[in-house]
């Protein structure tokens, strides 16, 4: 398995002068996901929790909806310049009778760490249908609980503490209990790792849960949450207009700018308990 962080010498320039010192960077390496031996996608990710990432990716692309639909997941031989396996190629074998992904799922080239939709065969294929609609989820959320979530997410970001260069996604119960937190250079990868964890733990659909992301809420992240039946997605930054449109369409609560003691609720405000707020 590749390293999560890498050390690199840098020239540090400050008011008291300049000096060379080591710095810790978040690792970024390609992961090629194959299904039944056929290349499906290449994503730039931080090594670690690759099995969860692959499960989450296939779930949110509509290829599978249950962990039993995957037979095995194994690393292929992918030697680097030193001849050692890089563990950057993962082959997923589908269970008998499970249909392989169609051409609309296959990326034309690769998925960067900043964009998980780039390279889709057609824009229309992005708007996937979910087996786990969050529209009827009876979840209710207290604002006092929500404002505590970013701090709990940040407290679990161990690699961010040393690099300052990773996104995070966290899954929480309605009372604020942390279920799982994952970090990655790609925000979509962090979400796929969280949802892959949930699939492997038999937690999908994620009824009564909140998914929190450390950056903005994009269309793709709303789609991923909807595919796993997440009723509420919160972000410390802004959502996009298309993300808000999709959240409304899916009956999902979408919260942005969750910082300090305030937040903006863009859709699904009926799930937020506001009776005690002036």
Q: What is the pLDDT of residues 133-183, one digit of tens each?
A: 999 999 999 999 999 999 999 998 877 667 777 899 999 999 999 999 999
Segment 218-226 shows an average pLDDT of 94
DSSP, residue by residue, 198-262 = HHHTT--S-TTEEEEESS-B-HHHHHHHHHTT-SEEEESSPBPHHHHHHHHHHT-EEEEEEETTE
Catalytic residue among 76, 115, 118, 209: 115
The more confident residue out of 163 and 98 is 98
Active site (annotated) includes residue 209: no
Residue 107 is predicted with a pLDDT of: 52
Query: Which pTM value belongs to this model?
Result: 0.89
Q: Which of 34-43, 95-104, 141-150 has the highest mean pLDDT?
A: 141-150
Q: How confident is the model at residue 104 (pLDDT cuts 50, 70, 90)?
A: low
Q: At what angle are helices 219-227 and 241-250 packed, to 10 degrees?
A: 20
More confidently predicted of 8 and 55: 55
Q: What is the pLDDT of residues 227-240, one digit of tens each?
A: 999 999 999 999 99
């Amino acid at each position: 398995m590749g390293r999560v962080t890498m050390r690199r010498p840098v020239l540090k320039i400050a008011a008291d002068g300049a000096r060379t010192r080591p710095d810790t960077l978040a690792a970024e390496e390609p992961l090629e996901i194959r299904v039944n031996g056929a290349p499906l996608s290449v994503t730039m990710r931080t090594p670690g929790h690759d099995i969860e990432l692959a499960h989450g990716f296939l779930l949110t692309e509509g290829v599978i909806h249950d962990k039993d639909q995957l037979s095995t997941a194994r690393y292929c031989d992918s030697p680097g310049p030193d001849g050692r396996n890089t563990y950057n190629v993962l082959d997923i074998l589908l269970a008998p009778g499970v249909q392989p992904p169609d051409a609309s799922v296959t990326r034309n080239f690769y998925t960067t760490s900043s964009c998980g939709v780039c390279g889709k065969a057609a824009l229309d294929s992005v708007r996937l249908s979910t087996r786990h609609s969050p529209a009827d989820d009876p979840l209710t959320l207290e604002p006092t609980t929500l404002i505590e979530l970013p701090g709990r997410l940040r407290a679990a970001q161990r690699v961010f503490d040393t690099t300052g260069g990773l996104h995070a996604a966290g899954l929480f119960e309605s009372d604020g209990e942390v279920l799982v937190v994952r970090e990655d250079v790609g925000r979509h990868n962090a979400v796929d790792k969280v949802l892959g964890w949930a699939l492997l733990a038999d937690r999908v659909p994620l009824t009564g849960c909140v998914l929190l992301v450390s950056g903005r809420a994009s269309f793709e992240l709303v789609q991923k949450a909807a595919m796993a039946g997440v009723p509420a997605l919160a972000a410390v930054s802004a959502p996009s207009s298309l993300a808000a449109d999709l959240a409304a369409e899916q009956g999902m609560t979408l919260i942005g700018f969750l910082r300090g003691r305030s937040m903006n609720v863009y859709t699904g405000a009926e799930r937020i308990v506001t009776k005690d707020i002036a």
